[in-house]
Homo-oligomer: A and B are copies of this chain.
Amino acid sequence: MTTAEQTIGSNWLATAGLRPTRQRVALAALLIGDGQDRHVTAESLFDAAKNQGEGVSLATVYNTLRAFCDAGLMQEVTVDGSKSYFDTNVHDHPHFFWEDEAKVTDAPSDQLVIAQLPDAPEGAEIASVDVIIRLRRKP
């Protein structure tokens, strides 16, 4: 990991008022270091950190992802009942879920047009609208 990526990560943490610990800076660099949006599970991020020789415990990865979500730096994507996915893109946008690989990617949000949406029932308001496009390998 370069110093540049660490700096980007530190700034990202700073904007949310989170302490830039060694572990968080390392994970932040993995998540946003190259400017690309990323979709991870706790396990996949843990493995990525390990592959870089970064010592971070799995519990800390879980706690850190929660902290990032609470701080609004990331969002959880609910696509699969058995695992939690986290997305560095916090804007409202649709997702592809590759069922064969159990992998999440962004779907192009400009290609999704919702012309009409059900009204929220009495006493409720719409917090967000999730659109998951489930994919399978073409036969």
A117-B133, A132-B129 as given contacts; A123 in contact with B107, CB under 8 Å: no
CA distance A81 to B23 in the complex (A): 26
Chain A positions 120 through 133: 1 when the CB is less than 8 Å from some CB of chain B, otherwise 0: 11011111111111
User: Does A3 sit within 8 A of B, measured CB to CB?
Assistant: no
User: Does A118 sit within 8 A of B, measured CB to CB?
Assistant: yes
Interface residues contributed by chain A, number (CB under 8 Å):
40
Please state the number of chain copies in the assembly. 2
Do A98 and B115 have beta carbons less than 8 Å apart?
no
Which of chain B's residues have a CB closer than 8 A to the CB of A112? 114, 116-118
Q: A96-B118, A111-B116 are in contact. List 14 more A-B contacts (CB 8 A).
A: A78-B79, A108-B118, A113-B114, A113-B115, A113-B116, A115-B115, A120-B138, A124-B138, A125-B135, A125-B136, A126-B135, A128-B134, A129-B132, A130-B132
